[in-house]
Structure 1
Amino acid sequence: MKTEADNKGAVQVEVAGEILLLHPFRAMYWEAQQALLLADLHLGKAAHFRRAGLPVPSDVSHSNWDRLISLLVDLQPRSVLFLGDLFHSDHNQEWEEFCGLMEQFSEVRFELILGNHDVLLERYYRQANLEVHRDGLDLAPFRLTHHPQEDVAAGWYNLAGHVHPCVYLKGNGRQRARLACFYFGKDQGILPAFGAFTGMAKVRPKAGDQVFVIAGGEVLEV
């Protein structure tokens, strides 16, 4: 896998013969397809927890919208591919805001690979003209899924979400930092969770794997 630094804190990598841009906003851009790939936005999660009486800061939702709009404006993708867990709740105001965003960028095709948290009634997807894929999406050489595949078919490279990958880096003394990351193995890559209000799970790279952390507005290989 080849890597090349970009002047906006992003990094270009070559995966399965394709050039991918790893963006510090926790997004991936596939240049050949002009496709923006995002995983685990969990829109509506903050409102869901507030409704349950938990004090969730309002800027959590603003961060999601600000980063998403910036990516759409700066990269100008032809399509946006959500690798599951787009929406975390039943219908609420954040879904209407998302529909408004899709209308604002009507020239972009939005597609969703269903994740385990995508439980909205189908009519909401239809009304929003959001194309839905229940069993993943094949765009050679990539097989796009929500859950990472246990066995990747020969000739394919699996790109997935769900895990919310991170690594722990040691600093001076006993300091440790937990950082979201892009994780690439032999035949599978896992995107970081895009959503600002999500947990993270530590990944354990094997020999030959590559990990790119997001720190200080930059994507860095570790």
Structure 2
Amino acid sequence: MTELTIAGENFSLHAHKAMYWKKHDALLLADLHLGKVNHFRKAGIPVPSKANDRNLEMLIELLQQVKPARLICLGDLFHSHYNQEWEVFGEVIKHFSHVSFELVLGNHDIMSELQYTRKGIIVHDELVLDQFILTHHPMEEIDAAQYNMAGHVHPGVHLRGKGRQAITLPCFYFGKNHALLPAFGMFTGLARIQPKKDDRVFAIVEDKVIDVSILGSDR
């Protein structure tokens, strides 16, 4: 994992598109979009069903490696209305019964409150921890003493090589007073960010997190 300090707090960035906050023993991630594959397949879109398995495999790997006390999802935990994938996720929650599963509601989190309650998931509209405000949508305005961490955007950084090579990679983005977490789930797409001079950007390449803040990203 890659270590960094943001707004005076220490975090670790994981190549599985998650952040670990040691002070709160919390694993932060965003935009799992569980059930999205089932939603597409129900609509007749031929998406491979193994994508569901890979999302949960990565989540289980993270929980086993990091062993957090809390898992906090910054929105869009589940993609749409209830389907069987929700029950599969419930088995993961049951297995890691010592972990507090928490959700900051996103625009795709549209299931009834009952579904979250029956799985033991703690739901927040937003979550304030110390000077940090955890939300799904990035906040447009924030007090100078606070720092906003959000999902929703699915950030990607566009990098160019010395020749004509170019690639857009999922990334962690840290600005002056706000951060964007990469989308954890598959089939989520990427939105190219436009980093400013002093912003920190960490691209995810296979099983590595690479600081590309000073590289020639296409801005």
Task: Tell me if TM exceeds 0.5.
Answer: yes
**Are 1:84 and 2:56 an aligned pair?**
no
Trace 1:52-71 onto structure 2 (pairs within 5 A).
52-71=43-62
> 1:70-106 CA deviation, whole Å, 9 max, x = no partner?
1101110000000000000111111001111111101
1:32 counterpart SS class: helix
Counterparts of 2:104 and 2:186, CA distance in 1: 20
Scaled by the length of structure 1, the TM-score of the pair is 0.93
Q: CA deviation at 1:206?
A: 0.7
Counterparts of 1:175 and 1:100, CA distance in 2: 43
> 1:122-141 CA deviation, whole Å, 9 max, x = no partner?
1101111111112x100012
Instruction: Give the aligned residue type for 1:133.
Output: H
**In the alignment, which of 125, 148, 151 is matched to residue 158 of structure 1?**
148
**Are 1:180 and 2:170 an aligned pair?**
yes
Look up the match of 1:29.
Answer: 20
Q: CA deviation at 1:174?
A: 2.4
Q: CA deviation at 1:58?
A: 2.0
Q: CA deviation at 1:175?
A: 2.2
**Are 1:39 and 2:39 an aligned pair?**
no
Counterparts of 2:195 and 2:161, CA distance in 1: 19
Q: CA deviation at 1:197?
A: 1.6
2:156 counterpart SS class: strand
Counterparts of 1:61 and 1:172, CA distance in 2: 37
Look up the match of 2:215.
Answer: none
1:168 counterpart SS class: strand
Instruction: Give the aligned residue type for 1:146.
Output: H
Counterparts of 2:85 and 2:67, CA distance in 1: 23
**In the alignment, which of 193, 204, 216 is matched to residue 206 of structure 2?**
216
Runs of 4+ residues deviating >2 angstroms: 171-175
Identity %: 52
Look up the match of 1:15.
Answer: 6
> 1:125-160 CA deviation, whole Å, 9 max, x = no partner?
1111111112x1000121100001011123211110
Counterparts of 2:78 and 2:33, CA distance in 1: 5
Look up the match of 1:7.
Answer: none
Aligned CA RMSD, in angstroms, stands at: 0.9
**In the alignment, which of 37, 42, 52 is matched to residue 51 of structure 1?**
42
Look up the match of 2:138.
Answer: 148
Counterparts of 2:62 and 2:176, CA distance in 1: 28
Counterparts of 1:40 and 1:216, CA distance in 2: 19
Trace 1:107-118 onto structure 2 (pairs within 5 A).
107-118=98-109
Q: CA deviation at 1:172?
A: 5.2
> 1:185-218 CA deviation, whole Å, 9 max, x = no partner?
0000110000012111000001110100001310
Scaled by the length of structure 2, the TM-score of the pair is 0.94
Aligned pair count reads 212
Structure 1 gap segments, 5+ residues each: 1-9
Look up the match of 1:96.
Answer: 87
